[in-house]
């Protein structure tokens, strides 16, 4: 049973990595802190009266609640913050480096969040041999040479990690299935993953859930949710 769970987990490694990459961005703090930063350190120069560098944050100028609508101007603000050109203050000490870093992080996130709807969907990306080997190492703690188990990947312009070039065939399905079976034999002894060994058939499902909890959490790099586990447990129940 334990080997079945590991084979299942290894077979799902490409799906784990693809789904983990699609996790939504965390919500950022309110823009109130950004507005306070600008009012305190920036508007003395960047106002409707001064308009230094043709940037201002008062009146009909840049609004922290509408960053995506003026992304071009906010990109210039970000560049000045990153380079240390701003903020310059004369009436009080400038902001602490941590405050500038926080402002930069917030602005980067707002700009990225506004850009996401304009990006085309990446689609499924089959892991190439190197990526598969790295994923197996990270999730199961197993070092192996994937070139001995998987066929050579196709390449485009010298790159073998371009999604459109990484097709799927029955030979590849067989190769990944065989790799999963082989690597599971190595992973079965890793007690950090295979932490339980059922003594009776009635214990197998709870043991499988315990193993898959560790596998999914490592794959997603966060604690596995009930929905995450239910999805893989359904596959386990079907294939056991």
Shared-domain flag, residues 113 and 225: no
Boundary-marking domain end, from 118, 153, 187? 118
In a domain, 27, yes or no: no
3-state secondary structure of 156: strand
Same domain, 90 and 169: no
User: Pick the residue with more confidence: 135 or 191?
Assistant: 135
Q: Are residues 111 and 79 in the same domain?
A: yes
Co-location of 138 and 155 in the same domain: yes
**Structural domain tally of the chain?**
2
Does a structural domain hold residue 127? yes
Q: Is residue 147 part of a domain?
A: yes
Range of the domain at 64: 32-118
Classify residue 82: in a domain, yes or no.
yes
| H helix runs in 91-203, sequence order | 97-115, 129-140, 170-187
What is d(CA 52, CA 89) in angstroms, rounded to the nearest whole number? 13
The Cα–Cα gap between 58 and 45 comes to: 11
Please tell me whether residues 131 and 230 are part of one structural domain: yes
Report d(CA 8, CA 3) in Å as an integer. 8
Are both 148 and 94 inside the same structural domain? no
Q: Are 197 and 141 in the same domain?
A: yes
Q: Is residue 183 part of a domain?
A: yes
Question: Does residue 27 have a pLDDT over 80?
Answer: no
Does residue 184 share a domain with residue 65?
no
Q: pTM for this structure? A: 0.50
Q: Domain boundary residue among 88, 118, 148?
A: 118
pLDDT tens across 199-231, in order? 888 888 898 898 889 888 988 889 999 999 998
Query: Are 234 and 172 within one domain?
Result: yes
For residue 165, tell me if it sits in a domain.
yes
Shared domain for 93 and 58, answered yes or no, is yes
Residue 43: inside a domain, yes or no? Answer: yes
Look at residues 74, 90, 118 and tell me which one is the last residue of a structural domain.
118
pLDDT at 173 over 50: yes
Rounded distance between C-alpha atoms, residue 6 and residue 135, angstroms: 14
**Are 140 and 226 found together in one domain?**
yes
In the chain, the percentage of residues whose pLDDT exceeds 90 is 3
**pLDDT tens profile 102-160:** 888 888 888 887 776 655 556 677 888 888 889 888 888 888 888 888 888 877 777 77
Q: What is the pLDDT of residue 28?
A: 46
Are both 147 and 89 inside the same structural domain?
Answer: no
Residue 84 to residue 78: CA distance in whole angstroms? 10
């Amino acid at each position: 049973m334990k080997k079945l769970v590991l084979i299942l987990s290894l077979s799902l490694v490409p799906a784990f990595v693809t789904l983990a990459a699609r996790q939504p961005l965390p919500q950022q703090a309110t823009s109130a802190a950004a507005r306070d930063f600008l009012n305190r350190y920036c508007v003395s120069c960047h106002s409707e009266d001064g308009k230094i560098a043709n940037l201002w944050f008062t009146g009909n100028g840049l609004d922290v609640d509408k960053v995506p609508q003026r992304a071009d101007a906010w990109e210039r603000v970000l560049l000045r913050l990153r380079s240390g050109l701003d903020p310059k203050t004369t009436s009080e000490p400038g902001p602490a480096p941590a405050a500038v870093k926080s402002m930069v992080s917030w602005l980067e996130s707002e700009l990225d969040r506004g850009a996401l709807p304009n990006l085309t969907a990446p689609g499924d990306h089959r892991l190439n041999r190197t990526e598969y080997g790295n994923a197996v190492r990270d999730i199961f703690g197993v070092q192996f040479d994937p070139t001995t188990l998987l066929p050579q990947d196709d390449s485009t312009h010298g790159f073998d990690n371009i999604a459109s070039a990484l097709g799927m065939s029955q030979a590849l399905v067989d190769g990944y299935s065989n790799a999963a079976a082989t690597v599971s034999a190595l992973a079965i002894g890793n007690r950090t993953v295979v932490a339980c060994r059922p003594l009776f058939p009635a214990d197998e499902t709870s043991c499988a859930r315990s193993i898959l909890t560790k596998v999914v959490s490592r794959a997603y790099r966060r604690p596995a949710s009930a929905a995450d586990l239910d999805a893989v447990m359904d596959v386990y129940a079907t294939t056991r």
